[in-house]
Amino acid sequence: MSFLRNDEIKKQIIIYIILNIIAFLGAMFINIMCSLYVVLFCFIIEIATLYFTKKRYNDISELTYQIDKILHNNDCTNFDVNKEGELAVLNSEIYKMTVRLREQAESLIKEKKYLKDYMADISHQIRTPMTSIKIMLTRLSRQELTDKEQFELTKEINKLLSRMEWLITALLEVAQLESGIVELKKENISIAKVINKALEPLKIQAELKNVVIDLKIEGSANCKVDYYWQVEAISNILKNCIEHSENGGTIEVSSKENPIYTEIVIKDNGNGICEEDLPHLFERFYKGKNRSNESIGIGLYLTKMIINKQNGVVTARNRESKGAEFNIKFYNET
């Protein structure tokens, strides 16, 4: 038996025999029956000790076998965590460690896949305008082009370069937020101040489409957010609404405040959002059916990240009349 080949067990048996002989010789001075009783009693104790020791060794052996399976990437492990005793506590702790390691391994696999998809998306998003720029530069090198054609090509190249610049900036901001490098500084900021700042770079775009921005903001409405990042989040929504508004459209921006949350509502009267796109609207690089040609599919994803990191939620739905509605709520921290 492998159990009896164990050096520890051999030493235990030898010590038992020696003690048994000593007890037997000592009992002989009393009488023979007493010595036989001592020998029998010691024998029973030793058998019981060996039995429980063997049982403990079997449990340890089974635990070792399970750990070996884990080390060889076998997920079919079976830890019995319903027993009691010190060994059972060890068993339970190893089981918890195993579950945690499995979760971490699965998380690493998901992160690896996410990074792979992320890099593929970035490569695609940057490669497309770069290819267009190369083609346009080749056309610009032709001497037979008129001044007007050169101007249009140069204008289009600048447009593509601006798009790439915005994309790279947005990707860097997403990377900063996802990695936790950026710590958002929360302070009480006026909603009106945030909205007006977010509208500044979009006024020309709105004027070109004759889009009217109707502000209905309570003067006292505040929210506890990071000013810079919140301007970025609101700006992305407003930009999306302007892009999807028709010429002469209207965008309504309103806000209200109560003891539970501060709410910002942005509405447009454009074509609205396809119902099948609504569940995916805030996903990274997602492009809906009604997207504009300039849409990249990262602005609303960035917006959701910023708002969620500031104890807020953002949702989108179609209006009953016409257009889309974005609802932002920042819950008051207790």
Q: Tell me: the pLDDT tens digits for 183-207? A: 888 888 888 889 999 998 888 888 8
Look at 4-8, 104-108, 210-214 and tell me which has the smallest mean pLDDT: 4-8
**Tokens matching residue 9:** 């067990």
- pLDDT of 313: 92
> Among residues 63, 66, 69, 71, which one has the least CA distance to residue 87?
63
Of 312, 125, 325, 118, residue with least CA distance to 224: 312
Three-point CA angle 75, 78, 107, nearest 5°: 35
pLDDT greater than 90 at residue 163: no
For the stretch 210-269, pLDDT in tens is 999 998 887 677 888 888 889 989 999 998 888 888 888 899 999 888 888 889 999 998
Burial label for 151, CB within 10 Å (0-12, 13-18, 19+), is exposed
pTM of structure: 0.61
**How far apart are the C-alpha atoms of 46 and 244, rounded to whole Å?**
87
Most confident segment among 5-9, 28-32, 181-185, 263-267:
263-267
Q: Is 87 within 8 Å of 56 (Cβ atoms)?
A: yes
Angle (CA) 286-290-292 rounded to 5° is: 80
